[in-house]
Amino acid sequence: MSATFITATGTDIGKTFVAAGLIRHFREVGRPVDALKPVATGFDADQAAASDPGLLLTALGRPITPLAIERIAPWRFSAPVSPDLAARLENRTVHYDPLVAFSRKAIESAVGTLLIEGIGGVMVPLDDTHTVLHWIAALNIPVVLVTGSYLGSLSHALTSLDALRRRDIAIKALVVNETPGSTVPIADTIATLRHFAEAIPVLGLPRLPSGSAQHLTFVDIAALL
């Protein structure tokens, strides 16, 4: 059994895209895989198939039912904002200790590879005192960090790397998911990040219509997990 936390430098960067791509690759090669998205905001039950939990279930080849959604994403909120604010808007709370316990239980009982997709970026608040970084550190499992290639992504990626390193969290890979319409070539972003990433592999996910490059990158990422 192995478990990996998929996190990012911010929201809408491509965590679910990376997680779903890895799931599909593992299934293609016959490697047992499961995935969780324990905390989800901006969730609309009427559009469950298009949600992050729904996309993970589709990649896993499982039906998108209320029970299946509840199993992989028990903390769901309607507002598309940070978890602490989304919960507050519903007079609820993301209870940190149960979230960690839920994740640990899934890790302990997993067969094959378990991917746990976080929410937003590394420092997104879960409640008034905990961030996603606290959650990752409590689980003590390695991460794949996803960033974009937009202008400003270098600072966001290096800040996230520094935060993870200060907690002694193992970083399996830094994945640069190409930002549509970016003024910065993805190759330049990758080259710069490699100067600062030290021994951490930096892999690019260019957006090509054929999808062939993406598939090759998922093979490379999977080999590191």
User: Of all helices (H) and strands (E), which one includes residue 15?
Assistant: helix 15-28
Q: CB–CB of 167/131 below 8 Å?
A: no
Helix axes 96-109, 132-139, angle to 10 degrees: 40
Residue ranges of alpha helices (H) inside 63-211 are 66-72, 83-89, 96-109, 132-139, 153-166, 186-196
Q: Is 172 a catalytic residue?
A: no
CA–CA dist 135, 131 (Å, integer): 7
CA–CA dist 83, 40 (Å, integer): 8
Number of neighbouring beta carbons within 10 Å of residue 28: 12
Number of neighbouring beta carbons within 10 Å of residue 108: 10
- Tokens encoding 177: 């998911």
Residue in 15, 37, 105, 172 annotated catalytic: 37
Residues carrying an active site annotation? 37
